[in-house]
Amino acid sequence: MLLFTVFPYVAIVVCIAGCLYRKRADSVGTSASSWLERKSPLWNWIPWHIWLLLILCGHLLAFLFPHFWSKMVYLPILLITIEAIGVTVTVVGMIGLILLLTNHLFSRRLIGIITPIDMLILLLLLVQFVFGLTTVIVYRWSASWSISTTTPYLWSLLALKPDASFIADLPFLVKSHIMTAWLFIFLLPFSNLRHVFTLPLRAIQRSTYRSIWNVEMAADQSHSEERRQFLLGIGTLAVGGAIISTGAVEKLLSYVFSVHLSQHEESKVLGTRLERLHMTVEQKQLEYERLQNDFILVAPFAELTPTTGKYFIDYEMRPALAFKGSDGFPLLISAKCTHLGCTVGNQVTKGKILCPCHVSYFDIKTGEPSAGAPAKAPLPLLGWVIRDAQGQEIMAKAADGTITGHVDPKSLQGYSVYIAKRDAAEGGA
């Protein structure tokens, strides 16, 4: 545990002291900045620094503003975003570092500028990248759990009350990541990389330019530039295409081949299908009945109420509503809105029913739409027939209002309400 409580201070002191000492010893500028001036053929150190800074900023944010940070990672979507950005930046930074390292290893110009200790510290950085990336992948949501582990640990160091118990339970991998960080700080003053503190801004500001000697050379250059761009484009296309196709093929294969249902799911799916088939059959039966029978049962009279309509299907297979009218007799009205054919609602408010599509109110007694409604034509009233249990016709009202037979409305309880084909045939409905 001493490694995590004492060594950090040692590392920081060595780092600061070392840097100060070397700065005094050095002439103006650092030799690190002189690397930056040399443009390597393909990869440049400068953009890579941006990635490195981004990663550092991510770590610093969690350390400096734990409260704000915890609020952010509390939202799953932000947590995922942060992790995704973190991984992306790390991967890019790592690839960049590997490319730069190999490039510089084989570049003769830079031998002598990169010292062995520089190389060591760069390799250490690479190892650090690997540790960090593995941590993020193996122990998910590090942006979230670091708030209660590494952040208080770092704060305890800052408060000069080092407490390693915060990180005591962390896996070896994470501890290695932290240890490597201290080691990195410790070694920094011995390498040329300490320029992070001297910030050779001049080198960044200085524009890079090429000397072009004559027109032929310029033409040649633009031609090769064009070819380079083309090859780069084709290359990117090939790589991108390969990545996308790999993902797409994987998804397609599983889409086509890997439908596996548990027995429970399978029976549920089949149940739904049967239920729907049943509904379709019912609908077809309704049609068939209407072709076959002269009378269709709407409802037993006792089930009708003045306030909630009972839906039924008329002879033209259109929806209709049955109410108990204020005169005590049945009241049958079409429910297909005369505006655009929506099905009208069955709740009566103030003697009116409502079509929800475009807000038309219809009077149930007359079928007339209220003034200003989108519907202009009234809902047609339907004829009805009252029959007793034996199928004897007791009373009927045709669509045009003609009433045949008469019974006291109070004695209707045992009878049922029907619609008749003869009314439909007359074109009344």
Query: Rule CB under 8 A: which of 251-270 touch another protein?
Result: 251-252, 254-256, 258-259, 261, 265, 269
Query: Contact, 184 vs 128, CB < 8 A?
Result: yes
C-alpha–C-alpha distance, residues 329 and 407, integer Å: 10
Site mask for another protein (CB under 8 A), range 209-238, x = bound: --------------------xx--xx-xx-
Query: Rule CB under 8 A: which of 96-135 touch another protein?
Result: none
Q: Toward another protein, which CB reaches closer, 376 or 410?
A: 376
Amino acid found at 167: I
Question: Total residues at the site for another protein (CB under 8 A)?
Answer: 46
Beta bridge partners of 369: 362
Shortest spacing between CB 344 and another protein, in angstroms: 7
Shortest spacing between CB 181 and another protein, in angstroms: 33
Query: Considering only residues 240, 328, 351, 405, which one is a binding residue for another protein as defined by CB under 8 A?
Result: 240
Query: Contact, 393 vs 385, CB < 8 A?
Result: yes
C-alpha–C-alpha distance, residues 227 and 325, integer Å: 87
Query: Contact, 132 vs 177, CB < 8 A?
Result: yes
Query: Considering only residues 10, 239, 302, 359, which one is a binding residue for another protein as defined by CB under 8 A?
Result: 359
Q: Toward another protein, which CB reaches closer, 38 or 273?
A: 273
Query: Considering only residues 113, 342, 394, 398, which one is a binding residue for another protein as defined by CB under 8 A?
Result: 342
The tokens describing 309, both together, are 């309509």
Q: Toward another protein, which CB reaches closer, 319 or 409?
A: 319
C-alpha–C-alpha distance, residues 67 and 166, integer Å: 17
Q: Toward another protein, which CB reaches closer, 147 or 373?
A: 373
Specify the stretch interacting with another protein by CB under 8 A; choose among 20-28, 62-70, 314-322, 401-409.
314-322
Q: Toward another protein, which CB reaches closer, 165 or 272?
A: 272
C-alpha–C-alpha distance, residues 5 and 423, integer Å: 97
Query: Considering only residues 47, 328, 341, 414, which one is a binding residue for another protein as defined by CB under 8 A?
Result: 341
Query: Considering only residues 356, 405, 407, 426, which one is a binding residue for another protein as defined by CB under 8 A?
Result: 356
C-alpha–C-alpha distance, residues 148 and 162, integer Å: 15
Count CB atoms within 10 A of the CB of residue 194: 20
C-alpha–C-alpha distance, residues 146 and 132, integer Å: 12
Could you tell me the maximum CA-CA distance found in the chain, to the nearest angstrom?
A: 122
For tokens 């609020």, the residue is 71
Q: Toward another protein, which CB reaches closer, 86 or 309?
A: 309
Q: Toward another protein, which CB reaches closer, 6 or 359?
A: 359
Specify the stretch interacting with another protein by CB under 8 A; choose among 44-52, 93-101, 249-257, 395-403.
249-257
Q: Sheet containing 330-334: which strands, arranged edge to edge?
A: 310-313, 319-324, 330-334, 381-382
Beta bridge partners of 300: 416
C-alpha–C-alpha distance, residues 30 and 10, integer Å: 24
Residue 333: which of 325, 341, 103 has the closest Cα? 325
Residue 283 as a binder of another protein (CB under 8 A): the answer is yes
Residues that bind another protein (CB under 8 A): 229-230, 233-234, 236-237, 240, 244, 251-252, 254-256, 258-259, 261, 265, 269, 272-273, 276-277, 279-280, 283, 311, 313, 316-319, 335, 340-346, 355-359, 372, 374
